[in-house]
Structure 1
Amino acid sequence: MDSFDTAKQALVEAGRDLDALFETAVTLPGVSTNPFESWRQTLDAMKAQMAEGVLRVAVVGSIKSGKSTFVNSFFGGDYVKRGAGVVTCIVTRIRHGQDLAATLYLKTWDEVNAEIEQAMVLFPSFDWRGADGKIDIRRQTDREKLGHALELLGDEQLITQGTINMNAVLISSYLQGFDRIKDLMDAPSASKEFGAGEFASHKDFVGHEPLAVYLKDVCLSLPAGQGVEDQVEVADCQGSDSPNPLHLAMIEDYLLQTHFIIYVISSRTGVRQADIRFLSLIKKMGLASNIYFVINCDFSEHESVADLRSLLERITGEIALLRPDPEVFCFSSLFNLFSGIKDELNDKDLARLNQWELDSDMRKFSDYESKRFLDILDQRLTHDRMALLLKSHVDRASMMASGVGDWINITRDFVSQDAGRAEELVRQMAVEKEGVDRIRAMVKNTLDGALRQARLEVGQDVDRFFDPNMGPAVTDLWEFINQYQAPLPETSPGSFTNAVYSVFSDLKRAVDRHMAEQLNPAVARFVKDEEAKIGRLVNDIARPYGTMVDGALSRYEKTLGEMGIVLADQKMSAPDQLDVSRVRRLAGLQVPGLTAAMRYSARVRTEAIMRKSAYSAGSFLKRIFNKESKPLDRNDSKAIAHALARMKEETRKSLEEHFMDFRENLKFQYMFKLLDLSAVTLQEDLSDRLKIFVEGMDQSAGLVNETQAAKEQAREILASMETRRKEIADKLASAGKLTGL
């Protein structure tokens, strides 16, 4: 068992024992209610948070860099489908589980139909919609209309600028896979699980485009002993240079949830232009500090270890231009994978492995680099799991154990005093309690008032960022759209609508790429900056009250000391800083998906573009009936240029509406919630040490009037509670040492 598991187990046991201790308090004579009910609720919340907390590691890189091979070698088995299609973007997540299993999460029919509607904007054919004006792929007539619309596309619409039309491939895949997937889609569950006996079947779905297009997510569960740490998720992401910009946005969405990034670079290609673009994007998002670089080397491509060392030095220098002092490792993922599944290899792959093993220098170099990588990654994962999943819980549980000790000491003193002395003790404690109550009320009222001002300030920041006239990222997008010049077709592609569709496809692809590479990273950076600002706002508000809480505790302890009551040894002062990122992660709060902002084209009004442009088509319209493609004349070009201007206008209008939705979601579903959660968390931190003086003493005071026999029984229970409390404190101290607290 590693240090994380040991610390977690100690924390779980301490929580269970604390809960039992709280339950024992109710059995005391004269204590009619549970003085620790609020702490019991806190323990329940801690259990849920520890169970749900996950440390995420994203494996990224360009297409064919060896990401899936790396992931398979990391887990010691051929689990992840290698070479999945490029039309769909499926992030395959791997987690610890009881048994080997693959769970496929399916899109809903509404999501499928919405994607088809999105892909069919400005399609040359206008008769693909159903009788109700919408599309529903479940209807046979609608599928036939979609198929017919695809048949009408010419080469000019299927391939533009050397790039395949992703919308056409998307719709084609949906149609091809419908018959095989429909029963799964109609099932009550939105997921399909393949157990150990049929685990490999999930690859048929992931690797076959007509089926993969229906998937939303894939999660693999691997049992213990197969390289999967508890509460660590490793994700194999789609290639960053996918021809579909939406895929890049999906990767960005996952990166916003990750704690570490493993960037894989193929030794055959080195650092490519696609890598430079993606690393620049990661840097803009503010995520460059936690990247590990793996040069996935192919033994067959390199003559010697000296060659590999030279490659390592060169690539490290290139990466350092974007990420200073990068941590770079060079080893063969395929060699590691083959070595781990040697008994399962076919003759060809076994021969390759045997050949590689003969090169002892190359093998030793790769083994050394692999071990160096795994050692460093394990250290970081263990440290960060401690910080993310255990640190705050150990702090709070330790505070509870200290508070229980104080309560036991005070309650025991009640039992030991004569009636007159006990009444005086109750009176003096009541005076102190009034002061504590005032502090708690001041903290709450101040935070409530300041929170309203903070919400106003954060809301204004979000509004300014997305302001269509002044927001820097948005105005940059408008400038890009205004300056964009679509490559016009050299010949008539058969109809005006075909020409418009070709031009719009180019425009949308360019706008999507700009959003994925420029706007989305700017949004991610803005969100990180606002998170930091929320932390400063809340901490600045609470800092003077933290000092006030510490002062109240000191006065209270002095008063009790004068009365002969000694409190617990461990004193927990009010926290100096609130870690907003921990609040966000423990609450499972996520930034609205960046991909949402890229689903704007469904709002583009097809009829507006066509009506406004068709009247000026001139001689171009006559070519609709001409079967042969001919060079475009001046009037044709003017008509298409006019249509492009209208497309830009409609695109900007639809984006403005979409940004308005995204802006409001970001404010109300993320920023304001994070602000509220941060304020509540800090208020709890400030008042937790005061809780025992506010919520427990009234019940304990009832012991004063109990019989001598009842008091003797109470003393025995309290002595037993103190013994158990010290054992709990020892467990938490051990957990604290393991976590480095």
Structure 2
Amino acid sequence: MKTNLSGQVEVLSALILELAALFPGGTQQAEHWRRILENLQTHFSEDRCRVAVVGTVKSGKSTLINSLLGRDLLKRGAGIVTAMITRVESGSRLQALLLFKNWEEVNGELNSALSFFPSPMLLERKGAFDIRRQADRELLVGVLAQVNQDQLLSQDMMDKNYVLVQSFLEGYSSIQEFLDEGRQRLELSEDQVVRHQQMVAHEALAVYLRDARLTAPFPWPAQGMELGDCQGSDSPIPQHLAQVQNYLIGADLVIYVISSRVGLRQADYKFLTDLKRMRLWDNCVFVINLDLNELEDATAAQKLVQRWQRELAAFQAEPPVFAFSALDNLLNRLKQQGVSLTPKDLGKLLTWESDAASTEFSRNEAARFEGYLREMLANRQTRLLLSGSLGQLQTVSQGVREWIALQNAFLSDNVAAFQTARERLERRRWPLESLMSSLGSAMQGGVQELKLELRQRLDRFFDFRHGDIGPIITRFIENYEGSLETLEIGEQVSAFMSGVYLVYQTFQQRLLLFLTEEINLKILDFIRLQEEWLQKRLTQVLEPLLSPLQDALNLYYQEIEGLGIPATAPRVATSPWTKPEALQPKLFSLEISLSWRIRSEALLRFGINLVGEALGRLKKLWRKQASKPKPDRLRASLADALQTIKTQTLGEMAASLLDYNEGLKFRYFFPLLEHLAQSQESALKSSLTALLLDFEGFQEALTEQSHQKAERRQQLVDLARRLEQLETASAALAAAASQVG
């Protein structure tokens, strides 16, 4: 349907060019029409349907995307510190774009990771680390060698800060020259895309990446689709979940991948609840990624689908569920393309195909799922048509039709009659143009009032003492006690460093998780409510301005009818509300992480000072109270350190929430308000200008000989016939779109 509309735009543009050639002196109106149509075509080409592929770690998200692409493209590592979503866009050829962090960002993450790091070598440190300095790299190697790695194990994996520092050091020599040149973009052609796979799969290189984007041809029509390969929803790192949330803000569809071997776990239900709170549940589709090695038969697969539909019905009645093996779908596609499979993969495929019924079920389900995606994409494009694109095309068509009719009528009159008609129409046109010229200033008054109202609403919500989330954050921090009683503590003063590091890291992770799972969602809900309120208030600002415009347009069209030309004034109304794809609110927990990285030197200094002073007090206490059990002394000192950290964090949170509030105003809501107001003003002026007739070039045609006039009239009749065919097709497209929409 999008292609049909694009074709109609091209046909109408060609008609306008022919019409302009008939009256060379009157090209201004034709140029305005063509600009409207060019903007429509640009809108079509830039439109993206964003599909987030989510699920727990190792559920098969990357394999699913590879199977949809029909190529083994995504090779993600299982690293624990790489917070990055790989985006794959539909395109005519395979290519990749890698975006790198700059040295300031790298050093910020490095110093933030070293806060409270359990190494005595850091206690003498006076300033921040810069990985570009050889002495700093050598010191960091010593720091990593000194710490007790056994104490940095959590959730069966190495501490993320240890891995982060280690990865930065390991990858430095490979990336140093590239970043020293000030380059942060690396574009890879089809024969170089293997470098993308090497970068994202190798932790020591991936830590230097900020973003990775791929463009690839799809084996089925997917123009405008973007697939986002998201981190696992059960990742132990809160920043990963925040990154996924950030991507979901602009998602049109969510594909939730469930491993048939694992099923739905507590982490899944928590994330599904978050999706519902984000108002994304109606846009979710579920894929059960079948393990054909464990599947008894096709009947068992059908029972799995029924089971998960029953479980998911707690969130939504009759959720769309598909069950197939993403790996079988991928390997089968590669085999059909003539790609040489490894003996292991070929063996899997042959084993699965020996159970014809199960394999047939899986592949039929995969085909049904791809059909669902195509239908979803087509329906979204249809909603795009109904949201204004088709209306703009029809407005231009109406203007062209009325212009042709007026030209034809004037070619039958003399110059005097033409001048009279022109004066009558321009007398009616002037009030309309005057109202249009004052539209911007009239709207700006309303915009300024709305900015003041917005400021007050945001300030109330984000007030740290009395707002909606500040007191919640305060209670969490004040009530946090950690698990000091269960913390294993040695009997040496040096054990304090490892203890305070674990206390700090646990507190920071719990706080970030709380901010991500609770505060982010509360803020997002507040943002959505303000967006709805903003559209409602802008409509109220616009309504008093539309009535005079409608009256003036009605009078203008009455004059056109008085000239014997059938015409009806269209309704003057607001356009559909849209916002730029690039304009999205930032998540609070991500802004907090960024703030900590920016202030990493201060955090590093705070940690060093706190540990140094506490160690000094401990050594004195050790000598004075030798009879008291040493672990108890250490535990008491850790409790004091935690209280100091909590006090410091409360101050950080108050400042961060204030900064976030101001950033949300000036980087999101105010630009959004300006955009919405400007787009409404531009749409109104553009539509009305498309209907106003331009008389330039007419008088020259009236002075021609009779046979020349007859020739022009014949050309106009031909243009009118072709335009009528176009309008008939446009009406049919509108009828089809309304049924889908």
Q: TM-score, normalised by structure 2?
A: 0.89
Secondary structure class of the residue paired with 1:261: strand
The answer as to whether partners of 2:96 and 2:193 remain within 8 angstroms in 1 is yes
Paired residues for 1:529-608 under 5 Å: 529-567=529-567, 572-575=570-573, 578-580=575-577, 582-585=578-581, 588-594=582-588, 595-602=590-597, 603=599, 605=603, 607-608=605-606
User: Given the alignment, which residue of 307, 319, 322 partners 2:312?
Assistant: 319
The answer as to whether partners of 2:115 and 2:607 remain within 8 angstroms in 1 is no
User: Given the alignment, which residue of 660, 663, 679 partners 2:661?
Assistant: 663
Q: Give CA deviations for 1:294-349 in whole Å, capped at 9, x if unaligned.
A: 01111122212332222222222222223343111111111111211235222222
Partner Cα distance (1:654, 1:23) in 2: 64
Matched, 1:276 2:274: no
* Alignment correspondent of 2:528: 528
* Alignment correspondent of 2:169: 175
User: Given the alignment, which residue of 474, 488, 497 partners 1:478?
Assistant: 474
Q: CA deviation at 1:469?
A: 1.6
Q: CA deviation at 1:66?
A: 0.8
Partner Cα distance (1:448, 1:616) in 2: 58
Cα distance change of structure 1 residues 288 and 736 upon mapping to structure 2, 3 Å threshold: farther
- Deviation larger for 372-381 or 171-180: 372-381
Paired residues for 1:257-272 under 5 Å: 257-272=250-265
User: Given the alignment, which residue of 680, 687, 697 partners 1:682?
Assistant: 680
RMSD: 3.2
- Deviation larger for 310-319 or 432-441: 432-441
| Paired AA for residue 520 in structure 1 | N
Cα distance change of structure 1 residues 524 and 85 upon mapping to structure 2, 3 Å threshold: same
Partner Cα distance (1:151, 1:255) in 2: 40
Matched, 1:708 2:716: no
The answer as to whether partners of 1:14 and 1:732 remain within 8 angstroms in 2 is no
User: Given the alignment, which residue of 287, 293, 304 partners 1:300?
Assistant: 293
| Paired AA for residue 431 in structure 1 | R
User: Given the alignment, which residue of 89, 97, 119 partners 2:91?
Assistant: 97
| Paired AA for residue 158 in structure 1 | L
Partner Cα distance (1:610, 1:140) in 2: 22
Cα distance change of structure 1 residues 482 and 458 upon mapping to structure 2, 3 Å threshold: same
The answer as to whether partners of 1:491 and 1:631 remain within 8 angstroms in 2 is no
User: Given the alignment, which residue of 137, 140, 154 partners 1:143?
Assistant: 137
Partner Cα distance (1:639, 1:217) in 2: 42
* Alignment correspondent of 2:424: 428
Partner Cα distance (1:614, 1:145) in 2: 19
The answer as to whether partners of 1:295 and 1:329 remain within 8 angstroms in 2 is yes
Partner Cα distance (2:81, 2:475) in 1: 29
Task: Report sequence identity in percent.
Answer: 30
Partner Cα distance (2:727, 2:530) in 1: 34
The answer as to whether partners of 1:305 and 1:365 remain within 8 angstroms in 2 is yes
Q: CA deviation at 1:113?
A: 1.6
Secondary structure class of the residue paired with 2:315: coil
* Alignment correspondent of 1:87: 81
Partner Cα distance (2:249, 2:419) in 1: 58
Q: CA deviation at 1:615?
A: 5.4
Matched, 1:291 2:287: no
Cα distance change of structure 1 residues 731 and 139 upon mapping to structure 2, 3 Å threshold: farther
| Paired AA for residue 257 in structure 1 | G
Partner Cα distance (2:673, 2:724) in 1: 33
| Paired AA for residue 636 in structure 2 | K
Matched, 1:407 2:407: no
Partner Cα distance (2:618, 2:104) in 1: 38
The answer as to whether partners of 1:335 and 1:353 remain within 8 angstroms in 2 is yes
The answer as to whether partners of 1:703 and 1:711 remain within 8 angstroms in 2 is no
User: Given the alignment, which residue of 6, 14, 20 partners 1:17?
Assistant: 14
Q: CA deviation at 1:4?
A: 3.3
Secondary structure class of the residue paired with 2:205: helix
* Alignment correspondent of 1:500: 500
The answer as to whether partners of 2:107 and 2:129 remain within 8 angstroms in 1 is yes
Q: CA deviation at 1:217?
A: 1.7
Q: CA deviation at 1:254?
A: 0.9
Q: Give CA deviations for 1:28-81 in whole Å, capped at 9, x if unaligned.
A: 3xx4x7235544444443343332221111111000111111111111121111
Partner Cα distance (1:363, 1:469) in 2: 60
Q: CA deviation at 1:692?
A: 4.6
Matched, 1:112 2:94: no
| Paired AA for residue 277 in structure 1 | K
User: Given the alignment, which residue of 178, 182, 185 partners 2:179?
Assistant: 185
The answer as to whether partners of 2:112 and 2:603 remain within 8 angstroms in 1 is no
User: Given the alignment, which residue of 280, 302, 305 partners 1:309?
Assistant: 302
Q: CA deviation at 1:237?
A: 1.1
Q: CA deviation at 1:512?
A: 0.9
Partner Cα distance (1:672, 1:23) in 2: 41
Partner Cα distance (1:549, 1:726) in 2: 31
| Paired AA for residue 321 in structure 2 | V
The answer as to whether partners of 1:574 and 1:685 remain within 8 angstroms in 2 is no
The answer as to whether partners of 1:25 and 1:34 remain within 8 angstroms in 2 is no
Partner Cα distance (1:560, 1:644) in 2: 80
Partner Cα distance (1:674, 1:719) in 2: 49
Partner Cα distance (1:403, 1:127) in 2: 77
Cα distance change of structure 1 residues 606 and 258 upon mapping to structure 2, 3 Å threshold: same
- Deviation larger for 291-300 or 386-395: 386-395
- Return 5+ residue gaps in structure 1 as ranges: none
Number of aligned positions between the proteins? 721
The answer as to whether partners of 1:257 and 1:590 remain within 8 angstroms in 2 is yes
| Paired AA for residue 17 in structure 1 | A
Matched, 1:372 2:368: yes
Q: CA deviation at 1:250?
A: 0.8
* Alignment correspondent of 1:243: 236
Secondary structure class of the residue paired with 1:341: helix
Q: CA deviation at 1:246?
A: 0.6
Cα distance change of structure 1 residues 418 and 187 upon mapping to structure 2, 3 Å threshold: same
| Paired AA for residue 219 in structure 1 | R
Q: CA deviation at 1:26?
A: 6.4
User: Given the alignment, which residue of 450, 453, 459 partners 1:454?
Assistant: 450
- Deviation larger for 136-145 or 682-691: 682-691
The answer as to whether partners of 2:131 and 2:137 remain within 8 angstroms in 1 is yes
Q: TM-score, normalised by structure 1?
A: 0.89
Partner Cα distance (1:379, 1:433) in 2: 45
Partner Cα distance (1:140, 1:487) in 2: 39
Q: CA deviation at 1:271?
A: 0.4
The answer as to whether partners of 2:112 and 2:604 remain within 8 angstroms in 1 is no
* Alignment correspondent of 1:620: 618
Partner Cα distance (1:77, 1:422) in 2: 66
User: Given the alignment, which residue of 699, 714, 734 partners 2:729?
Assistant: 734
Secondary structure class of the residue paired with 2:579: helix
Secondary structure class of the residue paired with 2:28: coil
Q: Give CA deviations for 1:262-316 in whole Å, capped at 9, x if unaligned.
A: 0000010110111111111111222211000001111122212332222222222
Matched, 1:63 2:63: no
